[in-house]
Amino acid sequence: MPESDSPLELCLRYRDAFFARDVEAILALVTPDFVFENVTAAERVEGIDAVRSHIASIHSRWPDMRFLERDEGIMSGENHAVAEWTARATHPDTGELIEWDGIDLIQVRDGRICRNAVYSSAHRARPQRG
């Protein structure tokens, strides 16, 4: 990874890898002790192997999940970035087309992502709008 990547550039690459469902590209951007935490669902995984399995299972369970970012896209500071989004997917148990809103707080340490905390309304997903 280039040393010149700003937190914004790093997080854009992370987002693009997540959208592409490229787990190895995601892991290439994170620290060895990376934490992926879905705060809403009370899920927390730490370390490359655990995160690899967890993110792969998200992609497997939600094969058509896609994200619509707010107009601002990803906003960043010196050691973090924030992304506000709406997720859309087919519910794997009911087949219903649903959507929910969320925010990712992504923390950066030493030029790599060290934590991705997800806060969302997935527990109150709604039918997809137009």
Q: What is the per-residue pLDDT across 57-99, written as a single tens digit (0 to 9) for each?
A: 999 999 999 999 988 889 999 999 999 999 999 999 999 999 9
> 1 lies in a domain?
no
Number of structural domains (the chain) is 1
Nearest residue to 10 via CA among 28, 22, 24: 28
CATH number at residue 78: 3.10.450.50
Total count of residues recorded for the chain: 130
> 119 lies in a domain?
yes
Give the Cα separation of 46 and 34 in Å (integer). 6
The pair of structure tokens assigned to 15 is 């987002």
pLDDT band at 129 (very low <50, low <70, confident <90, very high): confident
Output phi, psi for 57, to 5 deg: -70, -35
Nearest residue to 114 via CA among 36, 39, 61: 36
pLDDT for 34 beyond 60: yes
Domain ranges, residue 13: 7-127
Q: What is the DSSP string of 73-86?
A: EEEE-SSEEEEEEE
95: left (phi over 0), alpha (psi -120 to 50) or beta: left
Give the Cα separation of 130 and 128 in Å (integer). 7
Give the Cα separation of 19 and 59 in Å (integer). 10
The pair of structure tokens assigned to 67 is 């994200």
pLDDT at 92: 95
pLDDT band at 7 (very low <50, low <70, confident <90, very high): very high
- pTM for the model: 0.90
> 73 lies in a domain?
yes
> 70 lies in a domain?
yes
